[in-house]
Amino acid sequence: MKNSIKLIVICALHCAGILVLTGQTKDTLQVNLLNEFEIAQGALQRQKLFFDTSNRYIQNSAYDWLESVNAFLDGSERIKDTAAITSYKIIQSQLYSDIGDYDKSIAVAKELFSNSDSLNKNTKSIILSVLDANYGKLQMYDKQIEIRELKKNLGITEGVSFYDIYASMGLYNKAMKQYILAVKPTISDNDHLALAKHHNIIGNYLRLDKSASTAINEFKKALGFLEVYINDNTEQKTENNIFESEYLKAEIIGNIGICHVQLKNYTEAIDPLQNSIQILSTYNNGFYQEKITDFTLNLAEAQLQLNNNRTAKQLLESSYSLINVDQELKRNRLFANYYDKTKNYRLAAEYYKDNERITDSIKAIETSILKKQLVAIVGTSDLENSRKLINEQKLANEKIRNEIQAKDQSFNLIFISLVFTLIGFVGLVYAYLKSIKNQRLIAQQKYIIENSLKEKESLLREIHHRVKNNLQMVSSLLSLQTRNTKSKAAIEALEEGKSRVKAMALIHQKLYQNEDLSLIEMQGYIESLINSVQSVYKKGGHNISITIDAEGTELDIDRAIPFGLILNELVSNSFKYAFPDNDENGKIYIHLRKNGEQGYFEYTDNGVGLPDDADERANSSMGLRLINRLVNQLQSKLNTERTKDGVRFWFNFN
């Protein structure tokens, strides 16, 4: 809940900043929006004007609007204009939300939606959006999820996702998975800017989930896609596109710096954070202040940990705005640490006290929101519950009168019923006892089965572990043989064999490390495989830019081993032959996808390409023959294309 309180404070401060910015146009605005609303023709036109106007509170407050809307609503209720009543109540619900009366807003919106059969799809969408926002502000996330599920059931799919709710609840890992499912399918493979933003967001979720080392990998992927976008001269870019890409680059670099601070790699954090602050300060127009502040506080923490106390204090005293409560708490904590280090314990105590006061304020806000939650739940259901209780009481009274009238005539029947009831009760007790016995038996059998499965799973993990160890031993033997061999051709053959053995060993390592012993996550496997190949070819491949697009793809061992060997051969060939002179601008792209029963694999590099007699060499080359056989094992056929920028291999598989 505390994360959500802080989020509310952030939103309030951000909205206040926007009002200050937009307030600069107040004197130049010619039309009073509330007057235009009042002279509009009809309730529907007023409803459209209200919801289409984002800056409606520049000249008139929400209370001014509410007074006008209530007057129109009273008039519509006097003449019983149901359509107009609906429109004005929708506006009224939004106004209650805007002034912070979330319980009233929910009550009005729920009353409207109770007659949803008479509402069109657009009106339902507006009402549900108001309820969604109110439940979010009251941290009633279960209700918020129900509203979005209801939207989906009604066919209102635009903007319906759940990852923002999970993030507000602090469930960053679940938010990340929902975000990937919702957003990744909408991004095309050649939209490098969108891919950069996508990986930056995933990195942020991982960073917030305290997985800083994994987050750095995502941020590096984001930088890779962003560099491709920036260096792509075929795509025309507006000034806004260039500005956006520069800001995104600064944000990603700063996020990497924050991850280093989380990992306590303070020296590595300095340069990324300083560069990001410098770039964002250049472009800052008020909208990036929160990021600048965040990066500045992390830079101050790194300097403080490196005992650069004076620099840390200058950063903490620098003229920036504290955007949210988290930042204020962190700044006070860092000041307290600084004064502890400099033995000024009086000032340190003052900053600790400031944090206690802020914490008390947060608790007070939590209590206030809890009260509003109770009002929202109770207030919206009192009328309905009262009607229900009255109807139930009427039915009960009628039932009692009928029983009294029939009492004398049905005494014998009642007695017989009691006897049969007693017999039935005895039968139920017997059935219950028998059910308990059966449940115990089932529980014992379930326990035995679960233990057996755990033993089998443990044994299977041990098998994969031993197979991996045996393959590593084979690799070590090949390394020893290489040292005792003087023939260059023999050494190369032994190194190739060693690389292939490592590729298979890596499969078994990934299997026994996975929770699911039947599938291998290919993105991480390919990254590990390339690192292994690079360690074999120590003099090559380290300057080549390698892009791997296999996220979310999982294969079983029967497919993963051939893929590992195919990739091993292709990457080894690129390192050995594709860049004979210089690999500074070398690029390798690996794409692997599997949707259902259909899969696709593609490998390209921008090296010197295949020689003219490649088809003849294919019959004599061990590597190419091995690749073709492995592709045949996958019941497919290898396709090869010579391009002006290198070579491309691809095939489909089941």
pLDDT tens per residue, range 21-60: 333 333 334 468 899 999 999 999 999 999 988 778 888 9
Contact 529, 569 (CB under 8 A): no
Higher local confidence (pLDDT), 347 or 371: 347
Residue 640 CB neighbours (<10 A): 15
In a domain? residue 364:
no
In terms of domains, do 547 and 500 share one? no
What are 639's strand-pairing partners?
A: 650
* DSSP-assigned letters across all residues of 305-355: HTT-HHHHHHHHHSS----SHHHHHHHHHHHHHHHHHTT-HHHHHHHHHHH
Q: Is residue 222 pLDDT above 80, yes or no?
A: yes
Q: Do residues 146 and 6 both lie within one domain?
A: yes
Of 502, 518, 534, the domain-final residue: 518
In a domain, 363, yes or no: no
Residue 481 has pLDDT above 60, yes or no: yes
185-199, 248-262, 280-294, 307-321: least confidently modelled range: 280-294
Q: How many helices and strands in the chain, by DSSP H and E?
A: 24, 7
What pTM value is reported for the model?
0.44
- Share above pLDDT 70 across residues of the chain, in percent, rounded to a whole number: 81
Per-residue pLDDT at 220: 95
Domain CATH for 597:
3.30.565.10
Domain containing 83 equals 1-171
Residue 65 domain-assigned (yes or no)? yes
pLDDT confidence tier of residue 538, bands split at 50, 70 and 90: low
Same domain flag for 162 and 201: no
The whole-angstrom separation of Cα 167 and Cα 165 is 5
Examine the domain organization and report whether 490 and 547 are in the same domain: no
Q: In this structure, are 475 and 553 located in the same domain?
A: no
Residue 264: which residues within 8 A CB-CB, separation 6 or more?
305
In this prediction, residue 437 carries a pLDDT of 86
pLDDT of residue 29: 40
Q: How confident is the model at residue 649 (pLDDT cuts 50, 70, 90)?
A: very high
Q: Which of 163, 258, 272 is nearest to 208 (CA)?
A: 258
Residue 383 has pLDDT above 80, yes or no: no
Give domain status of residue 24, yes or no: yes
Q: Is residue 354 part of a domain?
A: no
CB of 305 closer than 8 Å to CB of 266: yes
Higher pLDDT, 377 or 221: 221
Asked, for residue 238, whether it belongs to a domain, the answer is yes
81 pLDDT higher than 90: yes
pLDDT tens digits along 144-161? 888 888 888 888 766 567
Considering the domain boundaries, does residue 482 fall inside one? yes
Give the pLDDT confidence score for residue 2 in this predicted structure.
41
User: Chain-wide mean pLDDT for the chain?
Assistant: 81
One domain for residues 18 and 159: yes
Q: Under a CB-based contact definition with an 8 Å cutoff, are residues 636 and 653 in contact?
A: yes
Residue 241 has pLDDT above 70, yes or no: yes
Q: Does residue 416 register a pLDDT over 50? A: yes
Q: Return the pLDDT at 408.
A: 53
Lowest mean pLDDT among 258-267, 620-629, 640-649: 620-629
- 384-409 confidence digits (pLDDT tens): 444 454 456 557 656 755 665 665 56
Task: Give yes or no: residues 213 and 160 share one domain.
Answer: no
Per the structure, the count of domains in the chain is 4
How many C-beta atoms surround the C-beta of residue 30 within 10 A?
4
Among 343, 365, 395, where does a domain finish? 343
Residue 479 and residue 337 share a domain: no
Domain annotation covers residue 186: no
Give the number of C-alpha atoms closer than 13 A to the C-alpha of residue 358, restricted to the C-beta side: 20
Work out the pLDDT band at 285, boundaries 50, 70, 90. Answer: low
- Rounded distance between C-alpha atoms, residue 296 and residue 277, angstroms: 7
| pLDDT given for residue 614 in this prediction | 64
* Predicted pLDDT of residue 108: 93
* CA–CA separation, 353 and 357 (whole Å): 6
Last residue of a domain, one of 128, 154, 171: 171
Same domain, residue pair 433 and 322? no
Residue with more model confidence, 206 or 7: 206
Task: Give the residue, 577 or 367, on which the prediction is more confident.
Answer: 577
Give yes or no for residue 467 having a pLDDT over 70: yes
User: Are 10 and 324 contacting, i.e. CB atoms less than 8 angstroms apart?
Assistant: yes
Place of tokens 């061999």: 485
**Res. 5: pLDDT tops 60:** no
Asked if residue 151 and residue 34 are part of one domain, the reply reads yes
Same domain, 6 and 52: yes
The CATH number assigned to the domain holding 86 equals 1.25.40.10
Residue 100, sorted as left (phi over 0), alpha (psi -120 to 50) or beta, turns out to be left
Highest mean pLDDT among 168-177, 210-219, 276-285: 210-219
Q: What is the pLDDT of residue 409?
A: 62
Calculate the alpha carbon distances from 201 to 166, 207, 222, 241, 601 in Å.
14, 10, 9, 19, 27
Please count the other Cβ atoms lying within 10 Å of the Cβ belonging to residue 645.
Answer: 12
Is 583 strand, coil or helix? coil
Residues 177-203: what's their mean pLDDT? Answer: 91
In a shared domain, residues 227 and 321 = yes
Report how far residue 14's alpha carbon sits from residue 322's, in angstroms, rounded to the nearest whole number: 11
Mean pLDDT of the 158-166 span: 74
